[in-house]
Amino acid sequence: MTRTPTRKPLQLGRTAPLPASPDQAVLDRVANPHADTHYVARFTAPEFTCLCPITGQPDFAHLVIDYVPGRFLVESKSLKLYLNSFRNHGAFHEDCTVAIGKKLFALLKPKWLRIGGYWYPRGGMPIDVFWQAGKLPKDVWVPDQGVAPYRGRG
């Protein structure tokens, strides 16, 4: 579900329970006060959790979301609640990463968005998933996502 602040009040500044699933989560967007300026906004979720859809075991990831806003910004409290709603959701790494990127892109309509999902190993193999959409403006500096490849012990 997506809504704009003009239709319903934001979750920000009021009690908002953790949604039971990503389908029940509401992402809020707010007006970008610098819509005339190209810049990168970054959200990092180093303790993202979901469940393996086959075994029910927990999976953990370090997510990095970068975007060049257009008219809208994602409201951070709603993003935290949305990401935390995956805690009891069963989905593969690729599905979680791409679904989050697509939902944010549809809501915000940014000039450009990318998400990096750096998943911790299960069964001895880390899986990193990357998705992006839109066109990066030429005058924008985008830093490296800063997540080292998995190295194991030492």
- Determine the distance from the C-alpha atom of residue 154 to the mean position of all C-alpha atoms in its chain, rounded to a whole number: 29
Which of 52, 95, 139, 144 is catalytic? The answer is 52
Whether the Cβ atoms of residue 29 and residue 73 lie closer than 8 Å to each other: yes
Residues 6+ apart with CB under 8 A from 151: none
Catalytic residue check, 96: no
Label the pairing between strands 58-68 and 112-119.
Answer: antiparallel
Which of 23, 28, 50, 59 is catalytic? The answer is 59
Catalytic residue check, 95: no
> Cα separation of 125 and 141, whole Å?
32
> Cα separation of 81 and 97, whole Å?
16
Q: Which helix (H) or strand (E) element contains residue 83?
A: helix 76-84
What is the gyration radius of the CA atoms in the chain, in angstroms?
16
Catalytically active residues, by annotation: 52, 59
